[in-house]
Amino acid sequence: MITRLTIVAAILFALAAGALAQQDTTFHQVPGKMPPYAGAIVQEPVYNDLPSAGKKCWIGEAYYFKWKFDKKPKLGTAILIVQLFDNKDKRITSLEVTGASDMPSMRGAHDSGEVPFQLNKKGDYLMPVNVVMPGEWEVKLVFLKGKEPVFRGRITFRYKRLH
C-alpha cells in the first residue's frame, strides 16, 4: 500500500533531481584566467619550416629575412642572426622579432622562453641560443608589426657530439 509519505518523498526526490539537472554548470570566465577544462585542446600557432641558412624567407610580399648562426651550433651558446629586408632589398628594422629555443623531443625541459631579439648597430637582429646537450633543436621565430604577429617560422638543427 502506497502511503501519503511515500508519494511526498517521491515528489521531493523528483524535484531535487530535476533541479540538479537544470543547474547552470557553465564556467563563468574571469578576464585573464583560463577555464579549468580537463583535457582542453589549445590551438597552437602554426610555425612555417624555414629554408636553410642564407636563403630568403618571405613575410608576405612586403618583407623577407635571412638567418644564420655566427658559428655552427655546438655545446654552448651560438648567436642566431636575422637580417630583415623590404621587397626592394633595403635593410629595415621596423619589425619586432622574438624567438624561443627548445628540444622538440624533450619539450619544455630546455625551453628558453620567448626572448626578444636585440638589434646591433648594423641592424642585425640577434638572439643567443644555448645548446646544452646533443640532439635535435628548434628555434621558433615570431615577427611582429606593432604587437600583431605577421609571420611565424621554425628553424631546426641537430647537434651531434664528436667522439
Beta-carbon-side half-sphere exposure of residue 23 (alpha carbons within 13 Å): 8
Give the 3-state secondary structure of residue 5.
Answer: helix
Domain boundaries, the chain: 48-159
CA 59 to CA 150: how far, in whole Å? Answer: 7
Please report how many Cα atoms fall inside a 13 Å half-sphere around the Cα of residue 57, on the Cβ side: 24
pLDDT in tens, 49-81: 999 999 999 999 999 999 999 999 888 999 999
User: pTM value?
Assistant: 0.71
CA 47, 99, 82, 119 torsion-angle sign: positive
**Four-way CATH pick for 48-159: 3.90.1150.10, 1.10.540.10, 2.60.40.1930, 3.40.630.10:** 2.60.40.1930
